[in-house]
């Protein structure tokens, strides 16, 4: 998805479509973060330090993905409501 085109588009329908895609991406990112959280929690209960470290790194990466997806949704929502970006 080319966000530069979508954010510069003035047609509400195009922005609405992009918002729907962004919300879907956010949902997927949250699901991945939740799975990473469960993996990390399970790793903490085990005795494999390498798995714990790996799971924590995956959780951090998933959290960044959620933050980025939330930012895109917020920008597109603002664009639809007429708030300047």
Instruction: Write down the pLDDT at residue 3.
Output: 58
Q: What is the pTM of this model?
A: 0.76
Alpha helices (runs of H) in 9-48, residue ranges in sequence order: 12-45
Residues 6+ apart with CB under 8 A from 54: 43
* Per-residue tens of pLDDT for the chain, all 85 residues: 555 555 555 567 778 888 999 999 999 999 999 999 999 999 999 989 999 999 999 999 999 999 999 999 998 888 777 655 5
């Amino acid at each position: 998805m080319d966000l530069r085109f979508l954010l510069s588009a003035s047609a509400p329908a195009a922005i609405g479509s992009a918002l729907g895609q962004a919300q879907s991406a956010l949902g997927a990112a949250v699901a991945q973060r939740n799975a990473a959280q469960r993996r990390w929690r399970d790793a903490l209960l085990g005795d494999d330090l390498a798995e714990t470290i790996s799971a924590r790194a995956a959780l951090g990466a998933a959290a960044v993905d959620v933050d980025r997806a939330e930012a895109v949704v917020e920008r597109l929502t603002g664009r639809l409501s007429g708030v300047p970006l």
